[in-house]
Amino acid sequence: MTKALNEQIKLEGTASFIYLSMASWCDTQGLEGCAAFMHRQSAEEREHMLRIFHYLSEVDAHALVPAIKQPTDKWKSVQVMLKEVYEHEKKVTASINNLLDIARSENDYNTENFLQWYINEQREEENLMRSILDKVNLIGEGPMSLYYIDKEISAVNKAEEKAETAGGEE
């Protein structure tokens, strides 16, 4: 179980780095709303990583700092980039589900309980990315599409920020 949780630390850390790279690329494209959103996503993934770190310490196991390779620094378009975020979130969900299977097979009730937070978080994350992609599809590929996509994502980011300040989500 410890080994699998350490692999999850790496997956969350990798997501944090990929999203940070996306934030930087968005900034170079003048997509400030998207950059702010990806910075927030990156910070969230770091929190997800640290949450496992602290959990492992709490159960007297050894949390390991992962080696993370340098992520891609360019994307074909912001639409492609956002689809990649969604695909990555689906991969994380599958990995969390796998962790839950392991916890159950080992009768590790503490870890099973700990993972419930991630199950909820992944449902929210996937839902958020799906709704963003739906809007991106509606906006289409017209000459002003990048402007509207950035505006839309900026609004999503502000709504998330507000929800967090209100003490709702992380």
Query: Applying CB under 6 A, which residues contact ligand FEO?
Result: 12, 15, 45, 48, 89, 92, 125
What the block records as the tokens of 76 is: 């074909």
- Residue whose Cβ sits closest to ligand FEO: 48
What the block records as the tokens of 110 is: 């503490």
- Closer of 11 and 31 to ligand FEO (Cβ): 11
For residue 141, what are the contacts with CB-CB under 8 A and spacing of at least 6? none
Contact 16, 45 (CB under 8 A): yes
Name the minimum Å distance from CB 1 to ligand FEO.
Answer: 18
What the block records as the tokens of 89 is: 């979130």
Name the minimum Å distance from CB 108 to ligand FEO.
Answer: 20
Give the H or E element holding residue 103: helix 78-105
Contact 138, 15 (CB under 8 A): no
Distance CA(47)–CA(9), nearest Å, equals 10
- Closer of 12 and 146 to ligand FEO (Cβ): 12
- Closer of 31 and 128 to ligand FEO (Cβ): 128
- Closer of 143 and 168 to ligand FEO (Cβ): 168
Name the minimum Å distance from CB 61 to ligand FEO.
Answer: 20
Name the minimum Å distance from CB 19 to ligand FEO.
Answer: 9
